[in-house]
Amino acid sequence: MLGLRQWAHLVRNRVPPAPRRHAKAAGSVAVPANLAAKILLRRARVDAGLSQAELARRAGITQPSIAKIENPDHELKLATLERVLAVLGKRVELASAAA
């Protein structure tokens, strides 16, 4: 579960902090899967030491496309997420939980 802190960083165009590994932290809320994916993708890019431009070059797309992918207001297609994560040596894993 990602919290409000991660979302706030993303909308301010900053790298979100990693979520805590222990039990649900105070102030944590469930966020839409699309937003969670963007937070995790941006963190993976920064952890890999890549700029948006370098990730775009490696993924065969433009830097503005990466900026859109990381933008919380832009819809993200699963196929695009998989393609960009593959460049970072990552893959998508899905799980369901009770509502």
CATH number of the structural domain spanning residue 71: 1.10.260.40
Residue 97: per-residue pLDDT? 77
Q: What percent of the chain has pLDDT over 90?
A: 48
Is 58 inside any structural domain? yes
In terms of DSSP H, where are the helices of the chain? 4-11, 33-47, 52-59, 63-70, 78-87
More confidently predicted of 61 and 96 = 61
Total of domains in the chain: 1
Residue 4 has pLDDT above 60, yes or no: no
Q: Rg of the chain over CA atoms, in angstroms?
A: 13
| Domain coverage including residue 50 | 4-87
Is 92 inside any structural domain? no
Mean pLDDT over 48-63 rounds to 96
> How far, in Å, CA of 96 to CA of 46, rounded?
27
Mean pLDDT over 72-87 rounds to 92
Whether the CA torsion 72, 73, 74, 79 is positive or negative: it is: positive
Q: Which amino acid is at 60?
A: G
> How far, in Å, CA of 45 to CA of 43, rounded?
5
Q: Which two tokens stand for residue 57?
A: 């070059």
pLDDT interval class at 36 (50, 70, 90): confident
CB 15 within 8 A of CB 9: yes
